Amino acid sequence: MQPVLFVCPDLVRVSLPPCFEEAMSYRFERGKLYRMPTHFGPSLGPRQGPDGRRFENKRSPRVTTVSVSFLTNEEQLVPLLPEGFDLVDEPMVTVFASYLEDIEWLAGRGYNVLGVTFPVVFHGEQDHVTGDFLSVLWENLADPIITGREDLGFSKLYCEIPEPVELEDQIHCTAGWLGFKFLDLQVRHLKQQTPEEITDFISEQTRDGLLHYKYMPRTGDWGEADAAYATLTPSSNPNQVIQDRWLGEGDLEFHQSRWEDLPTMYPIVNTFFELEVKAYGGASLTRTVGTKDLSDQRILR
């Protein structure tokens, strides 16, 4: 339909078709969660489903987590801490791989993650909390990476995390990027814990939660931040049920890499490669069901 021109002695006016007269720029709906691109309405994800509904997360996801811990040097970990963080307890590093299935917000699909933590305390003007500092979390799917980085402040990156290989009493986990394998992690001689031992393990968890440092650069002002602050994932997770837990021995190896191998990540992998392994602190395999949507994530001040 063509616009119609009405010519007056002192005025030229354009009459637009009805469809153009009614159109207007979008506005953000109060209380709705948005991510880029915002032009298509409120974003979907773990904390906002179709029609804005929340996910129950009581019977899913099903998660298998394999972890290995080792004692290292305090002076090697301190340079990794943002302002306001200090090491607490022993400099014990834990590397874990989790394999998630039947995720409700992904309509039953799953993905895998790889994280590196160590115990810290955060001293802010208002908050004083202890927990494990999640220095990095690799995932093999873009959707949780985007939602976790932007919404929560998790230090998430992409990598390939194949399913673990089980042979007799040994479980072998690997991670890589475009064919370059940068981690081997193995656990063995696993012994299943009794329900009473699992109950004791849960009751011994006294830390406040998982700590992160959120940073978003300011476009054009390179080196400046749009956001830079610590965040906390509170430890409470009433939906999560430990189905079984196994303890044993384990070891791991980060493989030294070059820029040609991991163009954006080799400083991270090499930092872990250089950590001295003074002694291994044990290994575990844990199977859980249920979780929370992490909407209780908060900024530490």
Cα(115)–Cα(95) distance, integer angstroms? 6
pLDDT above 60 (res 20): no
Cα(278)–Cα(280) distance, integer angstroms? 7
Query: What digits encode the pLDDT tens for the residues 142-170?
Result: 999 999 999 999 999 999 999 999 998 89
Q: Looking at residue 83, what is its pLDDT? A: 97
Is the peptide bond between 37 and the residue preceding it cis, with omega within 30 degrees of 0? yes
Helix (H) or strand (E) holding 197: helix 195-203
Using the 8-state DSSP alphabet, how is residue 48 labeled? B
Q: Looking at residue 7, what is its pLDDT? A: 45
**Buried b or exposed e, range 99-122, using 16+ CB within 10 angstroms:** bbeebbbbeeebbbbbbbbbbbbb
Q: Looking at residue 5, what is its pLDDT? A: 46
Is 2.40.400.10 the CATH classification of the domain at 57-299? Answer: yes
Cα(101)–Cα(160) distance, integer angstroms? 16
Q: Looking at residue 22, what is its pLDDT? A: 72
Task: For residue 107, give the amino acid letter.
Answer: A
Query: What digits encode the pLDDT tens for the residues 180-225?
Result: 999 999 999 999 999 999 999 999 999 999 999 999 999 999 999 9
Q: Looking at residue 23, what is its pLDDT? A: 79
pLDDT above 60 (res 266): yes
Q: Looking at residue 219, what is its pLDDT? A: 97
Q: Looking at residue 202, what is its pLDDT? A: 95
Tokens of 266: 């080799």
Q: Looking at residue 11, what is its pLDDT? A: 44
Q: Looking at residue 66, what is its pLDDT? A: 98
Q: Tally Cβ neighbours within 10 Å of residue 165.
A: 11
**Based on C-alpha coordinates, what's the Rg of the chain?**
24
pLDDT above 90 (res 52): yes
Contacts of 189 (CB under 8 A, 6+ apart): 169, 248, 249
What mean pLDDT is predicted for residues 68-90?
98
pLDDT above 60 (res 15): no
What mean pLDDT is predicted for residues 124-142?
98
Q: Looking at residue 174, what is its pLDDT? A: 98
Query: What digits encode the pLDDT tens for the residues 221-240?
Result: 999 999 999 999 999 999 99
Q: Looking at residue 6, what is its pLDDT? A: 44
Query: What digits encode the pLDDT tens for the residues 92-112?
Result: 999 999 999 999 999 999 999
Q: Bridge-partner residues for 74, per DSSP?
A: none
Domain ranges of the chain: 57-299
Tokens of 188: 């063995």
Mean pLDDT (the chain) is 94
Tokens of 52: 């804005």
Tokens of 90: 């022993």
What mean pLDDT is predicted for residues 287-298?
98
Tokens of 242: 């430990």
